[in-house]
Structure 1
Amino acid sequence: MYGFPSLLSQQLNIQVNTIDLSNMLKAILCLYIGISIIWILGIWKKEYWKCATELNILFMLTLAIGRALSMVTDEPPSCSKFHKLISIIL
């Protein structure tokens, strides 16, 4: 979906107004496709399993770090469940 600006505006209400943003989104789409191919190879071929598992761990860690960094630098999400959880913890 990232590589197709018309789908982004229809499905997620995100406007892609510049060629630079369109190119960046297509690059992210290809990155995800490449990662998926490694994961599929890890399922089908035993010699790729370790590499696919390490890539999966790295991918999930970078998602978690990016989410945490976003919550620190921007602000917490607007989800009320998240606010309730934080208030219980604090």
Structure 2
Amino acid sequence: MKFPKNLNLLLSGIIVIIAGLVYGGHPTYIMPEVLNFKVEALELKNMLRAVMGIYLGIGTYWLLGAFKPKLWSGATLSNVLFMGGISLGRIVSTLFDGVSTMFTPALILELLFFVWGLYNLNKYSD
């Protein structure tokens, strides 16, 4: 099965934007429901909303890269770095903290997007 060159950016952009909204959209409500911890400190709310901003920004860049050929290469490289970096962080956490049943599927997807992005860079870059 052949996947379109831009599908990696399109899917990961949508997923990361949704994740950002989950992290920062309404952290005092969402975090206790989804991740089972309370968000009461102003600094934690600020940090989660900053993460949301990063995710919304990078996800938007990936979506733009999926539709604008001039941005494709940079967007794909940033996708590879993001997915590789977040995967590395989850692997370190798994080694030091234990296996997270909630985030292991995320790790698998992030590794998939990392490898897929590397493949696309190798295949489609000039």
> Shorter-chain TM-score: which interval?
0.7 to 0.9
Identity %: 38
Query: What letter matches 2:23 in structure 1?
Result: Y
Query: What letter matches 1:71 in structure 2?
Result: T
Paired position in structure 1 for 2:23: 2
* Structure 1 residues 48-67: aligned runs within 5 Å: 48-67=71-90
TM-score w.r.t. structure 2 length?
A: 0.57
> Using the alignment, how far apart are the partners of 1:78 and 1:38 within structure 2?
29
Contact 2:94 2:100 in 1 (8 A): no
Higher RCO structure, 1 or 2 (CA under 8 Å, sep 6+): 2
TM-score w.r.t. structure 1 length?
A: 0.77
Cα 1:28/1:78, change in 2 over 3 Å: closer
Gaps of 5+ in 1: 83-90
Q: CA deviation at 1:48?
A: 0.3
- Bigger radius of gyration, 1 or 2? 1
Paired position in structure 2 for 1:87: none
Cα 1:69/1:78, change in 2 over 3 Å: closer
Gaps of 5+ in 2: 1-21, 105-126
1:44 equivalenced with 2:74 (yes/no)? no
